[in-house]
């Protein structure tokens, strides 16, 4: 299936919960709509990783999105909190794929060229796992805002609606959290570079 067809899907948290409840109760229409949303979120998440250069091939984006959908189709009746489950599965699928891709001994010529031209300095060794470790050290609300913004590609207005806060309050908290992360990343980078010399 071509996930690119799910370019623009708008839904609220309430609609998502309603679909999830109906799907778990056996409503095939609700399951079909919910599947479309899960595919959209998955594809958007992995596509953002591809745009960041973390995933090279668009085929991997499709494969990873499909893995998340298959996991959802197998487990949806046992899931208690869809949002938490989806964030966790997206992150774990990406990390597992990322670790495996680092272990590959061979690389396509095109991929090798891409990697060579995008490699910059030793500070690039701060990978997704380390950044997630730092994100998870933030307060719960800050974590939620960061994850909604980056993992789910949500707009500030959507995050504000989900959390019941004003858009300005969400923006302030987001930018403060980013500054906090930058400081922590600076120190991690400093220690990585110091260990090399």
Structurally, at CATH architecture level, domain 120-197 sits in: Orthogonal Bundle (1.10)
Q: Does the pTM exceed 0.85?
A: no
Tokens of 79: 């899931």
CATH 1.10.10.10 placement within the chain: 120-197
pLDDT band at residue 164 under the 50/70/90 scheme: very high
SS (H, E, C) 21-84: HHHHCCCHHHHHHHHHHHHHHHHHHHHHHHHCCCCCCHHHHHHHHHHHHHHHHHHHHHCCCHHH
Q: How far is CA 136 from the centre of its chain?
A: 14
Q: Write down the residue that tokens 């989806």 correspond to.
A: 86
Kindly tell me if the per-residue pLDDT of 8 is higher than 50.
no
- Tens-place pLDDT, residues 85-141: 888 888 888 888 888 877 654 444 445 444 444 444 444 444 566 777 777 778 888
Average pLDDT value for residue range 45-51: 87
């Amino acid at each position: 299936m071509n996930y690119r067809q799910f370019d623009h899907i708008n839904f609220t948290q309430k609609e998502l919960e309603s679909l999830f409840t109906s799907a778990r109760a056996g409503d095939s229409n609700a399951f079909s709509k919910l599947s479309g949303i899960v595919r959209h979120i998955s594809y958007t998440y992995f596509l953002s990783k591809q745009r960041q250069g973390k995933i090279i091939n668009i085929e991997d984006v499709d494969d990873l999105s499909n893995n998340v959908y298959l996991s959802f189709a197998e487990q949806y009746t046992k899931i208690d909190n869809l949002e938490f489950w989806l964030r966790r599965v997206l992150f774990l699928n990406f990390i597992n794929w990322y670790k495996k891709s680092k272990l590959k001994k061979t690389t396509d010529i095109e991929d090798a060229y891409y990697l060579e031209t995008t490699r910059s300095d030793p500070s690039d060794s701060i990978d997704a796992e380390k950044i997630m470790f730092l994100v998870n050290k933030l307060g719960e609300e800050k974590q939620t805002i960061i994850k909604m913004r980056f993992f789910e590609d949500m707009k500030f207005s959507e995050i504000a609606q989900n959390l019941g806060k004003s858009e300005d309050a969400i923006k302030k908290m987001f930018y403060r959290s980013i500054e906090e992360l930058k400081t922590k990343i600076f120190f991690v980078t400093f220690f990585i570079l110091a260990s090399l010399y």
